[in-house]
């Protein structure tokens, strides 16, 4: 029993050290890079929430985002490029986010989310907000010269 307590204690210390290191890293980031990291939460909501819903069998059914997989890739790109600098990083960030934003707008404008009659839900708006915040933060980081 004493060995189990020791293992759990060391595991807890290790986890606390990881959290402390992550918090120190986050606190050392510039404000705009913090915005990019925090926008990951909005992106998570954009990925998980349904973008539309339709009424069938006396209940509402959600329609998932067909482009959610690409937003996961964009989140990885945005997070990884925090460590790199320059105009190439800006171009990568802006092009990836503009492509995603255009895809979401086109799928909505073409009414191609579903063949069933649907209404947009809150997840759709998170899918619009996340890339806009990423683009704005990326451009401001570049203009500020805060790499």
Q: Is the pLDDT of residue 146 over 80?
A: no
Record the tokens describing residue 146, joined without a space: 């805060």
pLDDT of 117 reads: 81
pLDDT of 11 reads: 92
Instruction: Give the three-class secondary structure for 52.
Output: strand
pLDDT of 20 reads: 94
* Exposure b/e, 112-147, CB count within 10 A at least 16 = b: ebeeeebeebebbebbbebbebbbebbeebbeeeee
Which tens digits make up the pLDDT trace of 86-128?
Answer: 889 889 999 999 999 998 888 888 887 777 787 888 888 888 9
Residue range 19-32: average pLDDT? 89
């Amino acid at each position: 029993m004493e060995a189990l307590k020791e293992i759990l204690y060391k595991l807890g210390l290790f986890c606390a050290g990881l959290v402390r290191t992550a918090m120190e890293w986050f606190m050392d980031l510039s404000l705009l890079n913090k915005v990019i990291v925090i926008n990951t939460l909005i992106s998570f909501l954009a990925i998980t929430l349904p973008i539309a819903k339709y009424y069938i069998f006396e209940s509402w059914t959600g329609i998932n985002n067909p482009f959610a997989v690409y937003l996961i890739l964009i989140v990885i790109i945005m997070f990884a490029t925090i460590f790199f600098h320059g105009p190439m990083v800006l171009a990568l960030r802006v092009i990836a986010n503009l492509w995603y934003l255009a895809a979401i707008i086109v799928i909505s404008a073409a009414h191609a989310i579903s063949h069933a009659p649907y209404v947009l839900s809150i997840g759709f708006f998170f899918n619009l907000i996340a890339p806009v915040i990423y683009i704005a933060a990326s451009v401001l980081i570049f203009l500020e010269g805060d790499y």
